[in-house]
Structure 1
Amino acid sequence: MTDQSITLQPVAHVIGGRTEPTDDYWGGTRAIIRIDSTSYGADATQGLDEFSHLEVVFHFHLTDQSDLPLGARRPRSNPEWPEVGTFGHRNMRRRNWLGVSRCRLLEVDGLDLYVEDLDAVDGTPVLDIKPWFADFGPRGSVHQPTWPTEMLTNYFADRDRPADR
Structure 2
Amino acid sequence: MTFTIKPIAFVKNSRKEIKDDNWGSIISEIELVEEFNEEALSGISDFSHLEIIFYFDKVTDEMIQYNARHPRNNIHYPKVGIFAQRGKNRPNKLGLTSVELLKHSGRILTVKGLDAIDGTPIIDIKPIMKEFLPKGEIKQAEWSKALMEKYW
User: TM-score w.r.t. structure 2 length?
Assistant: 0.96
Which 5+ residue runs of structure 1 have no aligned equivalent?
157-165
* Alignment partner of 2:54 out of 54, 58, 75: 58
* Alignment partner of 1:85 out of 81, 86, 89: 81
Give the C-alpha shift of residue 122 in structure 1: 0.7
Taking the aligned partners of 2:95 and 2:24, their CA distance within structure 1 comes to 17
1:1-165 to 2 correspondences below 5 Å: 4-37=1-34, 39-156=35-152
Taking the aligned partners of 2:40 and 2:73, their CA distance within structure 1 comes to 42
Give the C-alpha shift of residue 17 in structure 1: 3.0
Which 5+ residue runs of structure 2 have no aligned equivalent?
none
Give the C-alpha shift of residue 77 in structure 1: 1.4
Give the C-alpha shift of residue 65 in structure 1: 2.3
Give the C-alpha shift of residue 64 in structure 1: 2.9
How many percent of aligned residue pairs carry the same amino acid? 37
Moved over 2 A (4+): none
Give the C-alpha shift of residue 140 in structure 1: 2.2
User: Pairwise CA RMSD of aligned residues?
Assistant: 1.0
Give the C-alpha shift of residue 55 in structure 1: 0.4
Q: Answer yes or no: is the 8 Å Cα contact 2:65–2:91 preserved in 1.
A: no
User: TM-score w.r.t. structure 1 length?
Assistant: 0.88
Taking the aligned partners of 1:29 and 1:139, their CA distance within structure 2 comes to 29
Give the C-alpha shift of residue 42 in structure 1: 1.6
